[in-house]
Amino acid sequence: MFCKNCGTQINPNAVACLSCGCDPRKGNKHCNSCGVETNADQVICIKCGVALKNQSLSSDEGKTVAIISYLSLIGFIIAIIQHGSNKTKLGAYHLRQVVGFMVTGVGVAILLWLIALPMISMSYSSIATYATFISIISFIVYIGLLVSIIVSFINAVNGKEKPAPIFGKLYEKWFANMFNTPQQQFQQPNIVSNPIQAVNPIQTPQPISEIKSDPIIPTQIQQPLQPSQPQQSIFKKTVFIIAGSIVGLLILIVAVKYVMSLDSGKSKNSVEPTQTTQPTYQESSTPNTQSTSSGKYQQASERVLTSSDIVNLNKYELKIMRNEIYARYGYIFKTADMRAYFESQSWYTPRYDDVTTFLTETEKRNIELIKRYE
C-alpha cells in the first residue's frame, strides 16, 4: 500500500503516513496500489488499473449502498443511483445479489402459476388437495428465499462480500458484469504479475520503466475485447439450468395431471354405472309407472332419502340401491355385474340406453346422496 499524498510505501494498517503525516487513504496525488504519480482528473491508474476517482471514500459508503439495496424495490433503485455516482466493490457485490433474489422470486412465482394451471379443469375436491400441495411447496420455497435474503442482508451490514445461501454463488456468475467498478472492469489478474516480474533484476537487466509501460498498457486495452472462456461456460450452464427447469416443470405438471385423472377416473367409474350402465324397471308401457315389486329399495324413488337411510349400508348395497332407480325405467346396463344382477330380477325389463330424462327430481337428489356415501 502507498500513501496517496506522497507516494511512500506504508503498512496497510497504518493510520498516518510517516513521511507526510497525512491520512494515507485520502488524496489524489498518487495511486494507493502502486504509488505512481497521478492527477486529479484520472479515473484509473494507467499502471495497475486501480480505480482512482473517489478512492478516498471509505468502505462505509459502499456498505450504505449494500444495505439500502435490500430495503424494498425503492431502496434498490436508490442504491443503484447512489452506486452510479460512487462505485464500490461492496455495493456492486450486494446489488448483484439483490438482482439475483428478484429474478429468483419472479421465476418461482411463474413456476407456481404454471403448476396451478391444471386446477382450472379439476373438480372441487381435487382442487382442495392440489391447492394444499401448492401451498406447502410455496411456503417452503419462499421461506428458504427469505432466509437467504436475511443472511445476505447481515453480510451487507457487516461489510462482507459473502454469497447468499443456496443460489448466491450462481448470482455471482450470472450477473458478474453488472454494477462493476472501474477497477473490476479494466484490471486483469496478470496486470499485477507483469510488473513484479519486470522489477526483478535477475530475470532481466532492462530498465524498469521500459518494462512497466509497454507490456502492460496493451494488456489492459486488448484483453477485455477478447471473449472470456469462463463466461461462455457460465452462459452454457445457465441455459442448461433454465432448460432443465422447464423440462422438470413440464414433467411435474404431467405427473400431477395423471394422478388427478386417476382420482377422477375412480369417481367416474363409480358414477358411470349410474348414468350409462344403469337399467330401470318398468311395470307398464309408461316409464314413470312404478310397481309394488320394483326392487329392494323402492324408497329411493318414492321420497327424499336422508343419511340415516343409507349410513348402515355397505358399498355394494349402495350400488344396488342407486342402480335400481335406473332399472325401474328399463335401463340397459353395460357392466356385466349389474346386467347379471338385474336380469335375475323378475320385475326388470331392459328397454332404453338412456333414461336420464325419466328421472324425477327426488330420484336425482337421492342418486347424488348415494354417490357421496359410495
Q: Where are the domains of the chain?
A: 1-56, 59-186+227-255, 276-373
Q: pLDDT for 93-123, tens place per residue?
A: 889 899 989 998 888 888 888 887 777 777 6
Question: What's the confidence (pLDDT) of residue 250?
Answer: 66
**Model-level pTM?**
0.40
Question: What's the confidence (pLDDT) of residue 55?
Answer: 46
CATH assignment, 276-373? 1.20.58.1690
Q: Please check the confidence at residue 182 and state whether its pLDDT lies above 70.
A: no
Determine the Cα–Cα distance for residues 165 and 143; give it in Å rounded to an integer. 12
Neighbours of 98 (CB within 10 A): 27
3-state secondary structure 261-319: HHHHHHHHHHHHHHHCCCCECCCCCCCCCCCCCCCCCCHHHHCCCCHHHHCCCCHHHHH
Which of 14-18, 40-44, 82-86 has the least mean pLDDT? Answer: 40-44
Contacts of 322 (CB under 8 A, 6+ apart): 273, 274, 278, 300, 367, 370, 371, 374
Question: What's the confidence (pLDDT) of residue 248?
Answer: 66
**In the chain, how many H helices and how many E strands?**
14, 0
Q: pLDDT for 19-34, tens place per residue?
A: 888 888 877 788 888 8
- Report whether 58 contacts 48 (CB < 8 A): no
DSSP letters for 181-192: -HHHHH--HHHH
Determine the Cα–Cα distance for residues 344 and 350; give it in Å rounded to an integer. 12
